[in-house]
Amino acid sequence: MKLPELIAAAADPRVTPRFVRFLIAEGLISSPSGGRTYATYNAAHLSGIRRYLRLRDMGLSISAIKALAAGEAPEAVAVDLATGLTLIIRPAELAGRLNPQRIATRIADALEDLAVLPTTSTKDE
């Protein structure tokens, strides 16, 4: 796909030609094939753009994102999920043992146990 198609596929107003060039210059996505005149982007470029945006939205710095892209896992990453709720992720300790659905269920259970979320059970009157 050409650059305008890549930008449209990203469907995010932050993604501009200048932004794509920035990601390439920083080594966060690869250079397009075909050279400058016939530059062609693919699904990997789109995926890299989306990943960068998600990580920035989680509060990671550009240097932390570069480290992740280089395969260097930071010791810990703090992700603010909501006011009063911060998720601390230690990538090195995960080592491929991640089951997002199970983790989401455990988080929901913990929040209910702490009386942060309304319970789903009904009262008998």
Intra-chain end-to-end CA distance of the chain, in Å: 62
Which residue blocks in the chain are alpha helix, DSSP H? Answer: 3-10, 17-25, 43-57, 62-69, 91-94, 100-113
Domain that holds residue 17: 1-57
51-78 residue pLDDT tens: 999 989 888 888 888 888 887 777 788 8
Domain count, the chain: 2
Average pLDDT of the segment spanning 19-27: 95
Give me the pLDDT at residue 27, please.
92
* Domain membership flag for residue 16: yes
Same domain flag for 53 and 78: no
Q: Is the separation of the CB atoms in 1 and 43 below 8 Å?
A: no
* Domain membership flag for residue 20: yes
C-alpha 35/C-alpha 39 separation (Å) is 5
Give me the pLDDT at residue 121, please.
56
Same domain flag for 48 and 2: yes
Same domain flag for 80 and 125: yes
Give me the pLDDT at residue 118, please.
58
Q: Which of 120, 88, 92 is nearest to 103 (CA)?
A: 88
Same domain flag for 49 and 92: no
Please tell me which residue, 75 or 48, carries the higher pLDDT value: 48
Give me the pLDDT at residue 117, please.
56
88-123 residue pLDDT tens: 888 777 766 778 888 889 888 888 888 665 555 555
Q: Is the pLDDT of residue 42 over 90?
A: yes
Same domain flag for 3 and 47: yes
Average pLDDT of the segment spanning 16-27: 96
Give me the pLDDT at residue 125, please.
45
User: Global pTM?
Assistant: 0.71
Same domain flag for 1 and 51: yes
Please tell me which residue, 122 or 81, carries the higher pLDDT value: 81
* Domain membership flag for residue 28: yes
* Domain membership flag for residue 69: no
Judged by DSSP in three states, 80 sits in strand
* Domain membership flag for residue 65: no
